[in-house]
């Protein structure tokens, strides 16, 4: 992958997007990607990053989260009744 045939600003945008992906923040990566010049969006590095953003976003949209190493399917958690929202949480002092 040739990262050197890009404008410096576009390379920095892609690097920031890549770093957001590394820390698990695909929406921030997408925001960075949107700042890329349209002429650079077909560069192989940009295509690879966009594919990674899409794959990560797809995994997140599957309604699963990972908590302390365990994958939890959010669809299996029953919704809270409206009356039990914030008013029934005990406050300890």
**Full DSSP string of 9-62:** HHHHHHHHHHHHHHTT-HHHHHHHHHTS-GGGTTSHHHHHHHHHHHHHHHHHHT
Residue at 84 is within a domain:
no
The tokens describing 83, both together, are 């009356």
The tokens describing 8, both together, are 């410096």
pLDDT at 91 over 50: yes
**Domains contained in the chain, number:** 1
Residue 26: per-residue pLDDT:
86
List, for residues 9-65, the tens digit of each pLDDT value: 999 999 999 999 998 888 889 899 999 988 898 899 999 999 998 888 666 554 555
Residue at 54 is within a domain:
no
Residue at 59 is within a domain:
no
Residue at 47 is within a domain:
no
Residue 82: per-residue pLDDT:
52
Residue at 21 is within a domain:
yes
pTM above 0.75, yes or no: no
- Residue range of the domain that includes 16: 7-34
The tokens describing 36, both together, are 């890329």
């Amino acid at each position: 992958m040739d990262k050197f045939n890009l404008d410096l600003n576009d390379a920095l945008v892609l690097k920031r997007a890549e770093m957001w992906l590394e820390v698990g923040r695909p929406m921030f990566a997408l925001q960075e990607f949107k700042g890329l010049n349209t002429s650079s969006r077909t560069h192989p590095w940009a295509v690879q990053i966009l594919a990674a953003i899409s794959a990560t976003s797809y995994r997140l949209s599957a309604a699963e989260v990972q908590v302390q190493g365990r994958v939890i399917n959010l669809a299996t958690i029953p919704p809270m009744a409206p009356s039990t929202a914030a008013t029934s949480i005990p406050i300890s002092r």
